[in-house]
Structure 1
Amino acid sequence: MTTAPAGPLDGAARTRPDGWLATPLTTDRAAAERQAHVILARHHDNEPGPVYCLTARYRTAVFALGSPPRRVLKRHADEAAYQGEVLAYELLAGECVLPDLHRVCDTSRTLLVDYLDQAVTLTSTDAFDELIRAVAAIHTVAARWHPAVIEAMARWRAGAAVDAPPPEWINDADGWHRLLQLVREAHGPDHVPLGHLDLKPEHVRRRGDGHLALIDAETLRPDITGLADLITLAYIASDEPHLSPRWVRHAYLHHVNELGAQWNDHTLRRALTAFAGATGLRSLHGAHE
């Protein structure tokens, strides 16, 4: 008897062993708050108090600042995760899909962003469609980058990736190259395949300007394609009886093409299947059906 997938990307995601992080953060909230006060005093002057710890994990700690909260301080233990989140804010600037970024500090590996307390309920078709639109905007952002950003991200272009060796975590090199060929045909050779958002209902919020935003961007990568996020959207939709994976795929197809891509349903389904084969993904959660 086979067991159900542990999550939307079960099989494609690689779990790190315990102890991989050399200098983990404290998981004691009171201790984390004391450390946050020191960081704010040294690196982020003039921020509102008090400080309240929202989460204290060995990789990250998140704090609400002010009463009522106005800012969020996010601290990373892992340098790569910190750099990845800073890069996400740089690459998605102007898209209104993240909270506004106010300050970063490389020394303390911290970011200061707007506190967004307005949750978005994804039980309605309209709200879920809005989320799909935001994800499609992230996947196509390379087409709207400033030339300087395009030049800086040149090494990750789909046109170059097709002929490059696959990442070490790929199971099937041929399947990976088939996937990248389909991505290149749909988006063009200069496309950078951003993807792997940490999509969860609790991470979807409403900005002050009314736009839907995602409050966690540290997992975004320029080498995994947006197919991972489409699969995750289908997984999330499976909890709602009036939403189907097929509807999710068609809504994504509409939005991503409206934003400049040239997918059709046949090639998108082929790409989903290729992604599963190349990465070892256990289930597409009906996204290809």
Structure 2
Amino acid sequence: MDISTALRDRIDLYEALNIIVRTSEELSKVSVTQIKRNFRQQALKYHPDKNPDNSDAVSRFYLMDVAVKLLSDPESRRSYDQWYIQTFLKQKNLESNREQQRLKLVLREKASISPVTKVHDTTDFEEYGHFLRKLKHFKIPYGDWKNFDKYPKTFGHKFQDSCSLRFELSNNKVLQDKGRLEEMLSRTFEVKIIELSFSSRNNYVHDHSIVAYATLATIDDTLRVLSQWESKANHKQSSKTLWSYLEDVSSKVPPSAFKFDGCDTLSPRIREMLANEPIIID
């Protein structure tokens, strides 16, 4: 068999010698030494003397003998390799790409019907759980906050404690009116007040100051009021404004506890983690 016959019959001479070639780069690295070494190794297995009654082994040995002779000749190999790249390697690449696409589709289909059973990274969930514990369980027994717990919780408000502020104001008849005080607080800080209560310890006759609790709609509102109070950016000395009566504004939950400003629902990532694997935080 000559080189033209090998090309015409589309014979893979490298495969005959058990040499795996997937790319043109791998093809260029196949040396004559490797070709002859592979021939000797395969000859031990397929030599006719060892397989006198095996016609397939004899045919394989004959093909190996042709392959080692053609690929050991520089001119024959140059012609064969050029043809090999344009035929076998191109076909192998196409088949490889098709197989990769098929495997991707199979894996995607399995992922869509098989639930994830293990979540390794629970950092986000643990951090969020730590945040929820602060909002739910934080207790600060200072001032009149102890009396705040005597009042009924606002119905439907998840984080009443974290959205409540304690206002200490100069004692004034105008501020003793609940409706008037609520209106002044809402207008001054531009927030929605869900519930307003006066401290049971207020003595409107003898005390210099009075205390009121205001539960706001959102955590963002709470932080905004605290920020305005601390900066006093809108402070005016006019006797007609609430600022002239304010002596202190404080929160039941310290601002340092608000790591996720305004967050009251699970993020999509945490929701997915919960759906895949229940996680209990002590």
State the TM-score, normalized to the length of structure 2.
0.19
State the TM-score, normalized to the length of structure 1.
0.19
Which structure carries more relative contact order (alpha carbon 8 Å, separation 6+)? Answer: 1
